[in-house]
Structure 1
Amino acid sequence: MMAFQDVRSSTFQQSYRCYPVSFIDKSHLEKGDKIIMPPSALDRLASLHIEYPMLFELSNLSAGRVTHCGVLEFVADEGLIYLPYWMMENMLLQEGQIVQVKNASLAKGTYVKLQPHTKDFLDISNPKAILETSLRSYSCLTTGDTIMVAYNNKKYYIDIVETKPSSAVSIIETDCEVDFAPPLDYKEPEKPAPTASLKKTRLDDQEEPARKIPKFSPFTGFGRRLDGKPSTQPVAPASSPKPKQHQPEAHNGTEDSKSSKPASQQPAGKLVFGSNVNQPQKAAPKVAPENNSQEQPQKVEEPKFQAFTGKKYSLKG
């Protein structure tokens, strides 16, 4: 029976109606986790064997939310307590709603992992120093809560992702390691995927050397005559050369092997010496009608350079 009385004498549990601290002109308490309780709570706590500093567990039974906090003063009206508004938001509490208060004993924290809501909190020159200064107003941290850090007239909300050695720890006079998770609005830069045009360019680069090397085409170019006159025969492209037909060479010492001409293109019954038979018929010099066995070539004015000039003789067949 005495043991049961000792257990009851060390427990404080009471239900109160809650309101924001702004209702009693204590808005500065928004920067921490301290609450305002009525004087009767102090009288009750003084008669119990509880640990100091005083820490409490707040429960919203209707929503199933639980958090932890400290106490600053006992000046609230009876039956009422005043909470920071960010704490009421975490607890899903409305003004005047019932909250259950119970004293708690928490282990000292050794590790805390935090996650800012926005990445602009990390743009502060020294976010860890600002966080360390702000957490001096806090007595404890609970996994799953969202605390508010005010800096430079701006409010930053930070989630408590993890706490060690338990899900709720005291941060009063303790060395606690702090780690940061990526902000909620942080997005990893997307890696640009190779586009079809880039792939096509790479294929073109591989084919480019083959395009730059011209195909070998033998016997192409411009034809030129030895007598200096412009060539009237077009040069046929040799992209698909045909095998040459074998032609017998003339072994007559007086006959030019290059002047051989098919019999169908020569006058019937005549052999012509010294003529340029490779040229068209219209390019051949005119010959006067034969009066005698010998004929004189008609004098024609020719350019300065005259190739294969002289007398021509014909033999009647």
Structure 2
Amino acid sequence: MFFGRFLGGNSFEQTYRCYPSSFIDKPNLEAGDKVIMPPSALDRLAFLHIQYPMLFELHNDATNRISHCGVLEFVAEEGTIYMPYWMMQNMLLQEGDVVRVKNATLPKGTYVKLQPHTSDFLDISNPKAILETTLRNFSCLTTGDSIMVAYNNKKYYIDIIETKPASAISIIETDCEVDFAPPLDYKEPVKPSVRNIPSKVSTDKGTSVEKEPEPKFTPFTGGGKRLDGKPAKQQAPATTTAKDLQIGSDGKQQSTAAGSSGSGGPIGQKAGKLVFGSSANTSNSKGTQKIAAKEREPEQTKKEEVKFQAFTGKKYSLKA
């Protein structure tokens, strides 16, 4: 069925039934954005003062979708237009749906931003050269469309994100800057967190043994030395632990260090230990404390003599 009307002046507007390129023996139609129109359209366009190359605006009034295309031949049946299948998908058209065709004048493009659907398009050895070869079969680009690029028996779909200087541009005989956006399936790589986990090392027997992490460097771990060459003798202060103390019958603590009697008395205690006896053994404890004090006196005097004091105004010899 043929729907059509001709407008005066430089305007052309016609309504056709659309079908994909598989209905006609034109396999190269899918590699571009050109359509095949009936001969009557050429007769009408010949009487109009339109610009060449001829470009057209496609309307799907049912879904309010708009796209643009060029024309390849005028050999279709009357009332019929053949277009690439990917273009019908952009306009949400089915076989036999009505599409309105109108002539259009588009500015030459200066910039276009593309976004591949999948990341494998970037895995091609030279995607820029493939894209330039494919776009030679295109007449125009429209923002929001998805074009198809065929390479190595595989189809790649690319979205038109942005075009300048208008939402629809002509790419015939023009220098156009092309920019790429990250693919739709692109995911940011996750940075692994560094953990001090022991690594496994395989042995000759086939078993895996965890390898301990290497020890870290710790500075200033050496010992001190005297300037006169003598050994630095320092005795650790005596400390009283829970094992050295025992609760007496009157609630006081008694020493149970090695060398004491089985009854818990203070006799035989080592020097430097604190003794907490009962009231019955007060005299014995006092005597023991005096003996311990006398034993500590020469040791303390010896320590004070041996201890080196710096900056006292005295002269010391470095020789042993």
Residues 90, 146 of structure 2: 8 Å contact kept = yes
RMSD of aligned residue pairs (Cα, Å): 3.5
Query: Is structure 2 residue 26 aligned with structure 1 residue 26?
Result: yes
Which of 275, 284, 289 is matched with 1:245 structurally?
A: 289
- 2:44 corresponds to 1:12: no
Most deviating of 59-68 and 189-198 = 189-198
The 5-angstrom pairing of residues 217-256 of structure 1 reads 234=258, 241-242=273-274, 245-247=289-291
Q: How does 1:184-199 map to 2 (within 5 A)?
A: 184-192=184-192
- Alignment of 1:142 with 2:142, yes or no, is yes
Report the Cα offset of residue 246 of structure 1. Answer: 2.4
Shift of 1:241: 4.6
- SS of alignment partner, residue 129 of structure 1: helix
Counterpart amino acid of 2:274?
A: K
**Once the 2 structures are TM-superposed, how far is the Cα of residue 143 of structure 1 from its aligned partner?**
0.2
- What SS does structure 1 have at the residue aligned with 2:132? helix
Partner of 1:112: 112
Structure 1: how far apart are the matches of 2:294 and 2:93? Answer: 119
**1:28 & 1:235 partners in 2: Cα distance?**
108
Partner residue in 2 for 1:132 = 132
Cα offset for 1:249?
Answer: 6.0
CA distance in 1 between counterparts of 2:42 and 2:10 reads 14
> Partner residue of 2:81?
81
Give the TM-score normalised by structure 2: 0.62
Q: CA deviation at 1:127?
A: 0.7
Structure 1 residue ranges (4+ consecutive) displaced by more than 3 angstroms after TM superposition: 191-198, 216-220, 233-238
Deviation at 1:69, TM superposition (A): 0.3
Aligned residue in 2 for 1:161: 161
Q: Secondary structure, in 3 states, of the residue corresponding to 1:101?
A: strand
CA distance in 1, matches of 2:89, 2:28: 17
Shift of 1:28: 1.5
Higher strand share: 2
CA distance in 2, matches of 1:172, 1:10: 21
| Residues 204-240 of structure 1, C-alpha deviations (whole Å, 9 max, x = no match) | xxxx98xx99xx96679xxxxxxxxxxxx947999x9
Secondary structure, in 3 states, of the residue corresponding to 1:9? coil
Q: What residue number does 1:277 align with?
A: none
Q: Helix, strand or coil: the match of 1:44? A: helix
The residue aligned with 2:100 is 100
User: Taking every aligned residue pair, what percent have the same amino acid on both sides?
Assistant: 69
In structure 1, the gaps of 5 or more residues are 1-6, 199-207, 221-232, 251-317
Task: Please identify the structure whose Cα radius of gyration is greater.
Answer: 1
Query: In 2, distance between residues paired with 1:129 and 1:217?
Result: 82
Change (3 A) 1:33 1:219: same
What is the deviation of 1:125? 0.9
Give, in whole Å, the separation in 1 of the partners of 2:294 and 2:169.
Answer: 115
Aligned to 1:256: none
Give matches, 1:273-288, under 5 Å.
none
Q: Secondary structure at the match of 2:121?
A: helix
Aligned length: 221
Query: 2:289 is aligned with what amino acid?
Result: Q
